[in-house]
A and B are shown apart, each in its own frame.
Chain A
Amino acid sequence: MRKRIIIIGATSAMAERCARLWLAEGPADFVLVGRDLAKTERVAMDLRVRDPKAGIRALAADFRDPAGIRALADCLWSQGAPDLVLIAHGLLPDQQACQIDLSSCEEALLVNGVSPALFAEAFAGHMERTGGGTLVLIGSIAGDRGRKTNYVYGAGKGLLTRYAQGLQHRLAATGVAVVLILPGPTDTPMTAHLKGQGGLGMADVDAVARAIVAGVAKKLPVCYVPGKWAVIMMVIRHLPRFIFNKLNI
């Protein structure tokens, strides 16, 4: 059976690696959605070389336009129900800049939280009606607890955690699976400027993609990648405030 896969934020390094893995697993057709058509098309070209028989389309969309998001989901749906929708876009802002400039703060909250939630909502309605498919959201471990160094990003990502929980509750009785991926620091263009700053090492993006693909195949409701973060974040979430507030993280 040919899989139909839609990827929103398809130029993300994580999403691109996942697409390569899905393509290697078996026949699949992709719709890749990005904010920059030429860049999205470059991802499509690569996938076409990897599998000349795959149908691969690249589209551009406005990620902040609710009506446009609705129209895109409707249009894609009318062409056939996908097996998988991955919503991958995100933006790692400079926390300090967000504290000073509220429009940076707004953008980070919108791109990490509101925009992916709107895409998820738009697809969830269709999935609920057909009763099948897998909806995958990429959140972040940063959404598990607000920290002074990163809470604007964390708040956007935390919105996705809550949104995914709600969708899982709503769709529990259907055949629809909602998978929330929570990556730890990963070596991608998003974090390139942070490399070499010491601290915890970054995971290899290929390894992260393999873990995402495995988690999606198992339809895990929540999937920390790499898996160790499930334990670390459990501890961090439960640290008493008087200890947590002393930590410089």
Chain B
Amino acid sequence: MMKVTSWGRLGSLEHEVCFLSDRTGVPAQVRAPPGGQAPGVCYGMGRSYGDVCLNPGGLLWNTAGLNRFIGFDADTGVLTCEAGVLLRDIQRLFIPRGFMVPVNPGTQIITVGGAIANDVHGKNHHRHGSFGDHVLRIRLARTDGSVADCGPDLLPELFAATVGGIGLTGVIIEADIRLRRVAGPWLDTELIAFENLGEFFRLSDASEAGFEHTVSWIDCVSWGGGRGIFMRGNPAVAGAGAGRALPRAGWFAVPFVPPVSLINGLSLRLFNMLYYGMKKRTTGPSLSHYEPFFCPLDNVLEWNRIYGPRGFFQYQSVIAREHGLEATQAMLGEIARSGNGSFLAVLKTFGDRQGPGMMSFPRPGVTLALDFPNKGASTQRLFERLDAIVREANGRLYLAKDARMSRDLLESGYPRLAEFLKHRDPGISSAMSRRLMGG
């Protein structure tokens, strides 16, 4: 038994951990013992915030050792690799060769298996969809000992259940992913300050056609909330950034768990610096390296410790555009009144497409994500008020971030739930599946 936690550090719980490292051995390793039920679930890098990758008291299949590349076709850009390969390692190897991972979430320190199982999204959702849109084949080991290959044209239902299927349909051993061509590691980026949500939506609408990446930071506290910084960018042309120093590879880690939450004071100062700096002068486009642009916090290893020993929640919702302005305003209002949320939230519009998975989070609309230090009952009451707004607007919460939503919110947010449940592997169960899906 060993203690395992997820990114939110809400608890450190004992698990029986089985380390997978040889892809041909996986089917035998995850096969359920005859008669006995010992359900397990996969654990990639544990970059999910809640209980989606946990199975306290039970079995975890740790996939970090499945870190081998298998093949790459430079004509088509199709990469075959094991499920524990990190997006960061793909980027670092392939960007110099002119290819990159098509969808980059806010951290690159996640596995391919985790990226598929949560069908992760990035700043380019309006252009390129979610991770699952670029997966051509998944090799899945099921706990009955069988192995199935699935893809958009091969067992498409199993594929649609597995993409975004939070690990419940089987253990992903390897996958084929189509990488995208890029000229280099640089992006032309622009920052624009906005004063309210109306401006945010106008900027989004005006930017989606011309910019591959868009995202905003929004202030949820000062002046009733709503001011923010809109970021947009496009891949820079070939040769851009030549001779520029790459960002330093030096990592620094938060070496201990500070006794109280520090994040608000820190981010407030940073934000104000940026915001007022931008207000003073109109910043033209500038060149950014992809790592700090996509994953600004990846160089601060274990920044999640900053929230202190009780851990934290992240709350991420998506709400259809027709209710987007009103519902976001209402949520920001609740958060500001509670004085409880982190100071900054991330706000982004999703493109007009449904996700490739039955349980994919992205859908047309606007997504809001922010952190909440765990302050017990008051935090939970705030979440209930936010849930009410999300439910009213027919929205959904992101399973990768969730540790506490109710079953009925899952059901109303994910209309394909019943269809998905048919594809579950009976030998797989997580804390989340028991909390939300009855087993």
Which A residues form the contact surface with B (CB < 8 A)? 13, 38-39, 42-43, 45-46, 49-50, 52, 189, 192, 195-196
Q: How far is the CA of A38 from the CA of B22 in the complex (A)?
A: 11
Give which listed residue, B17, B19, B68, contacts A189 with CB less than 8 A: B19
- From 1 to 43 in chain B, residues with beta carbon under 8 angstroms from any chain A beta carbon are 1-3, 17, 19, 21-24
- From 78 to 105 in chain B, residues with beta carbon under 8 angstroms from any chain A beta carbon are 79, 81, 93
Does the CB pair B71–A49 fall under 8 Å?
Answer: yes
Does the CB pair B23–A42 fall under 8 Å?
Answer: yes
Given contacts A13-B65, A50-B69, A189-B65, contact A195 B23 (CB under 8 A): no
Q: How far is the CA of A137 from the CA of B142 in the complex (A)?
A: 40
Does the CB pair A13–B22 fall under 8 Å?
Answer: no
Within 8 Å of chain A (Cβ to Cβ): is B271? no
Q: How far is the CA of A13 from the CA of B69 in the complex (A)?
A: 14
Give which listed residue, A43, A52, A192, A195, contacts B68 with CB less than 8 A: A43
Does the CB pair B21–A49 fall under 8 Å?
Answer: no
Q: How far is the CA of A85 from the CA of B74 in the complex (A)?
A: 32
Instruction: List the A side residues contacting B24 at CB < 8 Å.
Output: 38-39, 42
Against A, the Cβ 8 Å flags (1 = close, 0 = not) of B38-75 are: 00000000000000000000000000010011111010
Instruction: List the B side residues contacting A52 at CB < 8 Å.
Output: 72, 74
Q: How far is the CA of A13 from the CA of B66 in the complex (A)?
A: 11
Instruction: List the B side residues contacting A13 at CB < 8 Å.
Output: 21, 65
Instruction: List the A side residues contacting B65 at CB < 8 Å.
Output: 13, 189
Instruction: List the B side residues contacting A39 at CB < 8 Å.
Output: 22, 24
Instruction: List the A side residues contacting B17 at CB < 8 Å.
Output: 195-196
Give which listed residue, B19, B68, B74, B79, contacts A45 with CB less than 8 A: B68
Does the CB pair B2–A49 fall under 8 Å?
Answer: no
Nearest A residue to B62 via CB reads A192
Q: How far is the CA of A195 from the CA of B24 in the complex (A)?
A: 23
Instruction: List the A side residues contacting B21 at CB < 8 Å.
Output: 13, 189, 192
Given contacts A189-B19, A189-B65, contact A49 B72 (CB under 8 A): yes
Given contacts A38-B24, A39-B22, contact A45 B1 (CB under 8 A): no
The 9 residue pairs across chains A and B that have the minimum distance between CB atoms: A196-B2, A49-B69, A46-B68, A192-B19, A46-B69, A49-B72, A189-B21, A45-B70, A195-B2
Q: How far is the CA of A196 from the CA of B24 in the complex (A)?
A: 26
Instruction: List the A side residues contacting B68 at CB < 8 Å.
Output: 42-43, 45-46
Nearest CB of chain B from residue A68's CB, rounded to whole Å? 24
Instruction: List the A side residues contacting B74 at CB < 8 Å.
Output: 52
Nearest B residue to A43 via CB reads B68
Nearest A residue to B92 via CB reads A24
Q: How far is the CA of A195 from the CA of B21 in the complex (A)?
A: 15
5 pairs, A vs B, C-beta closer than 8 Å: A42-B68, A45-B70, A52-B74, A189-B19, A196-B1
Does the CB pair A50–B93 fall under 8 Å?
Answer: yes
Nearest A residue to B97 via CB reads A52
Q: How far is the CA of A10 from the CA of B60 in the complex (A)?
A: 28
Nearest B residue to A42 via CB reads B68
Nearest CB of chain A from residue B282's CB, rounded to whole Å? 42
Instruction: List the A side residues contacting B2 at CB < 8 Å.
Output: 195-196
Nearest CB of chain A from residue B1's CB, rounded to whole Å? 6
Instruction: List the A side residues contacting B3 at CB < 8 Å.
Output: 196
Nearest A residue to B79 via CB reads A49
Q: How far is the CA of A157 from the CA of B24 in the complex (A)?
A: 30
Give which listed residue, A38, A49, A192, contacts B70 with CB less than 8 A: A49
Instruction: List the A side residues contacting B69 at CB < 8 Å.
Output: 45-46, 49-50
Q: How far is the CA of A46 from the CA of B79 in the complex (A)?
A: 11
Q: Other than the known A45-B68, A45-B69, what 14 A-B pairs have Cβ atoms closer than 8 Å?
A: A13-B65, A39-B24, A43-B68, A45-B70, A46-B69, A49-B70, A49-B72, A49-B81, A52-B72, A189-B19, A189-B65, A192-B21, A195-B2, A196-B17
Nearest CB of chain A from residue B428's CB, rounded to whole Å? 21
Nearest CB of chain A from residue B251's CB, rounded to whole Å? 11
- From 144 to 169 in chain B, residues with beta carbon under 8 angstroms from any chain A beta carbon are none
Nearest CB of chain B from residue A60's CB, rounded to whole Å? 15
Q: How far is the CA of A45 from the CA of B80 in the complex (A)?
A: 11
Q: How far is the CA of A196 from the CA of B71 in the complex (A)?
A: 34
Instruction: List the B side residues contacting A45 at CB < 8 Å.
Output: 68-71
- From 284 to 338 in chain B, residues with beta carbon under 8 angstroms from any chain A beta carbon are none
Q: How far is the CA of A189 from the CA of B65 in the complex (A)?
A: 8
Q: How far is the CA of A157 from the CA of B251 in the complex (A)?
A: 34
**Most chain B C-beta atoms within 10 Å of own C-beta, residue among A13, A39, A45, A46:** A46
Instruction: List the B side residues contacting A189 at CB < 8 Å.
Output: 19, 21, 65
Q: How far is the CA of A195 from the CA of B2 in the complex (A)?
A: 7
Instruction: List the A side residues contacting B71 at CB < 8 Å.
Output: 45, 49
Nearest CB of chain B from residue A120's CB, rounded to whole Å? 27
Q: How far is the CA of A52 from the CA of B74 in the complex (A)?
A: 10
Q: How far is the CA of A132 from the CA of B74 in the complex (A)?
A: 38
Nearest A residue to B65 via CB reads A189
Nearest CB of chain A from residue B84's CB, rounded to whole Å? 12
